[in-house]
Chains A and B, each alone.
Chain A
Amino acid sequence: MEHIVVVTLIIGGTALLSLPLGTYMAWAMDPGSTSPRGTRFTALFERVAGPGAATGQSWQRYLATLLMFNVVMFSVSFAILALQQHLPLNPDGKGALDPTLIFNTAASFTTNTNLQHYSGEVSMSYLSQLAALMWLQFVSAATGIAALAALARGIAGRETIGSFVVDVQRASFLVLLPLCLLVAPVMVLLGMPMTLQGAVQATTLEGAAQTISRGPVTAFLTIKQLGTNGGGFFGPNSTHPLENPSFWTNALAMIAIILVPMACVWMFGRIIGRMRHATVVFAVMTLFLLVKIGAAVTFEAAPTAALTGLPVAESSNLEGKELRLGATTGPLWAVLTTSTSNGSVGAMHDSLNPLTGLVPMAGMWLNATFGGVGVGMINMFLYIIVAVFVAGMMVGRTPEYLGHRIEAKEMRLAVLALFVHAFLILGGTALFAATPWGQSAVQDAGAHGFSEILYEFSSASANNGSGFEGLGDGSWAFNIATGIVMLVGRFLPIILPIAIVGSLMAKRRAAESSGTLGVEDATFGSMLAITVVIFGALTFLPAAALGPIAEHVSLP
């Protein structure tokens, strides 16, 4: 009962909030020429960006600017991390970081992944946390929203898809920053720390010394959640009492995790001018979300298997859970954080019951049931292309999406983008499961160890960032391999869909007729859902059987 009420309020409430936010985001990202205030902002952002800001760009130019900006993001943050021991705002005297760790961390935060092979309070200075990592949390999320706006303009049949350096400012200054300024003060009032003072030395009641790390947590946490970043200020992320002090900060954080990904669907619908189509997509995503939540909550109600036979009172699995956050948080947060590409955790995923642990993995495999800010809807666009193509073949018509003819070229690009995700996950897992790189890093051999490696590569490729943290993933091999997987898993699924749209824009658009496949009804919704299951999930079924499912059936 408790579960149903909490889930209904969080999901239902956020879905309601996402509608007006989506309308606002459509205006902010794509003001058009009729809004005087929008025009003024556009002019301002063009002035800030200077020479490269021409508003009408080809899709190739748009992507080139996007990649260049991301190179700058990577380089600047790499430099700050590499020099942190010489830079200010380091009250606790954090030292130099390992070079492969710096590469992994810069790649991780540039790609909106936030996989962390370090523990924030142990390794990072406040300057690294704020100017390198938190900065990337803003601009990597803005990159995703900009890419979706460009994609939507292309589908809408505009002359050009816009200007990246203007779009990324719109997303940073008009979307993410105002949302952070609304949410962060509430987090502060609910008791979250925000200080630049270093760690404090306490003497406990029993006379022991205790070092208590703290820092500018609230600012960091807020954009971490709103931008589907997920990287924790502290090592154990949002299970840490200073990063998640109460049930209420926890509830607000869960809303912040899915709010912008939900609003992105509406933004997409507004820009292409097809809100009914967006509603169908939103409904399919919500259906998947609810199925996953139901499964996770059910599986996690069972106690920790290792306590069987001991005189321990009956309860849900409490290993890796925090009491103040309530019993629903563990499984609900696990689903939300992996349905979106957030990756923050409200419970330790490695200690989830085996089948509960399968649910977040499935979320990362699909990576489109809301997904990351901007990129989640872009991933769903790939499934839409496939669904439209398959549906067209089935009825023997030329497949059309909103009047755009989908032909072999677009289909090849879409399948390639979906295939890359599976290849990175299964290839990486296979390589590490077969070599000492992975074998020596797992917590225990067998099915659970396999799950740890599988989860790590799923998380890297889906740009998620959560992990089965019992895995010793701080080695150079994991740093470099997951660093590369994150970069490929980020940029190919942005480049290929925009190339698809570029190809569509170059063709003459057909008038929609009664013969055109409708994308605004339940039939299309079912077709899309089936496509997601067949393409997204079945690929991974054998790996699931070797990992979490094998572990479940071997439980005592």
Chain B
Amino acid sequence: MSNLLSSLRVALATMAICVAGYTAVILGFAQALTPTSANGSLITNDAGTVVGSRLIAQAFSSPEYVWPRPSAVDYDAGGAGGSNLSPANPQITARAQELISAHGGASVDAPIPADLVTASGAGLDPHISLEGALFQAARVAEARGVEVSAIERMIEERAVTPGGPFTAGRIVNVLDLNLTLDADLAAPAASQ
């Protein structure tokens, strides 16, 4: 009986300090110092509408935009997940073939970067590889009626090494890049 009473008292104490107290401290710290990232790194347009989150991939299928990696959950940021397909699963092959043709084909001499045909862990990877972005530059340039080199330059400017010296490749944030494309280059509909 004294065991139960003591257990309840300790439960109450840990609940008050490790749950209520700790959450309040970290919440206060985050909301005071980094309110933007604390609330999900949301991006708002001039009209005040939330257009997405810097950290969350969204679907792109129009030719004038750079496309993200495929998503096993169709970019559902309210129910994220990976494909969980085993490495030899034929569904991975079928998906890759579909994406290769959607991207206008690839060949042994000009292969498609692997990140563009593999689903990420959460289905919301906000990045693609620099090579994956450059692979799409020609399509975007044609759709927007500009030189390929202009698109390539914009992509290069936005490529970062995520871990500095500790990571090998460079990556590009897709939403960030597409917002810049819209801001700097008129979409074909607007230019005519």
Q: B-contacting residues of A (Cβ < 8 Å)?
A: 2, 5-6, 9, 48-53, 64-65, 68-69, 71-73, 76, 119, 121-122, 130-131, 134-135, 138-139, 142, 165, 168-169, 172-173, 176-177, 180-181, 184-185, 188-189, 191-197, 199-206, 208, 210-214, 216, 218-219, 222-223, 234-236, 239-242, 245-248, 251, 303-307, 310-315, 317-327, 345-348, 350-354, 443-444, 448, 468-470, 551, 554-556
Residues A350 and B86 in contact, CB atoms below 8 Å apart: yes
Residues A327 and B11 in contact, CB atoms below 8 Å apart: no
Which of A53, A188, A247, A251 is B38 in contact with, Cβ under 8 Å? A188
Residues A320 and B80 in contact, CB atoms below 8 Å apart: no
Q: Which of B3, B110, B165 has the most CB of A within 10 A?
A: B3
Task: Give the nearest-CB partner of B164 in chain A.
Answer: A247
In the assembled complex, the CB of A175 is this many whole angstroms from the nearest CB of chain B, namely 11
In the assembled complex, the CB of B126 is this many whole angstroms from the nearest CB of chain A, namely 6
- Rounded to whole angstroms, the CA-CA distance of A218 and B37 in the bound complex is 11
Residues A443 and B33 in contact, CB atoms below 8 Å apart: no
User: Does B111 reach chain A (CB closer than 8 Å)?
Assistant: yes
Residues A138 and B14 in contact, CB atoms below 8 Å apart: yes
- Known contacts A206-B59, A351-B82; 13 further A-B pairs (Cβ under 8 A): A76-B11, A189-B34, A193-B37, A203-B49, A211-B77, A218-B26, A236-B80, A242-B56, A306-B90, A312-B112, A323-B115, A323-B128, A469-B82
Task: Give the nearest-CB partner of B34 in chain A.
Answer: A188
Residues A172 and B18 in contact, CB atoms below 8 Å apart: yes
In the complex, which residues of chain A have a beta carbon less than 8 angstroms from the beta carbon of B31?
Answer: 194-195
Chain-A contact segment, one of B91-99, B136-144, B150-158: B91-99
In the complex, which residues of chain A have a beta carbon less than 8 angstroms from the beta carbon of B29?
Answer: 184-185, 188, 194
Residues A239 and B120 in contact, CB atoms below 8 Å apart: yes
In the assembled complex, the CB of B88 is this many whole angstroms from the nearest CB of chain A, namely 4
30 contacts between A and B (CB under 8 A): A5-B166, A48-B13, A50-B9, A68-B3, A73-B11, A138-B19, A139-B11, A191-B55, A195-B27, A195-B31, A202-B51, A212-B42, A234-B122, A235-B81, A236-B121, A245-B55, A247-B163, A248-B163, A251-B163, A306-B91, A307-B93, A311-B110, A315-B115, A318-B120, A319-B119, A320-B119, A323-B171, A324-B125, A324-B162, A443-B89
- Rounded to whole angstroms, the CA-CA distance of A173 and B19 in the bound complex is 12
User: Does B186 reach chain A (CB closer than 8 Å)?
Assistant: no
Residues B40 and A195 in contact, CB atoms below 8 Å apart: yes
Q: How large is the interface on B (under 10, 10 to 19, 20 to 34, 35 or more residues)?
A: 35 or more
Residues A52 and B3 in contact, CB atoms below 8 Å apart: yes
In the complex, which residues of chain B have a beta carbon less than 8 angstroms from the beta carbon of A248?
Answer: 163
User: Does B146 reach chain A (CB closer than 8 Å)?
Assistant: no
In the assembled complex, the CB of B23 is this many whole angstroms from the nearest CB of chain A, namely 5
Residues A205 and B58 in contact, CB atoms below 8 Å apart: yes
- Rounded to whole angstroms, the CA-CA distance of A139 and B18 in the bound complex is 9
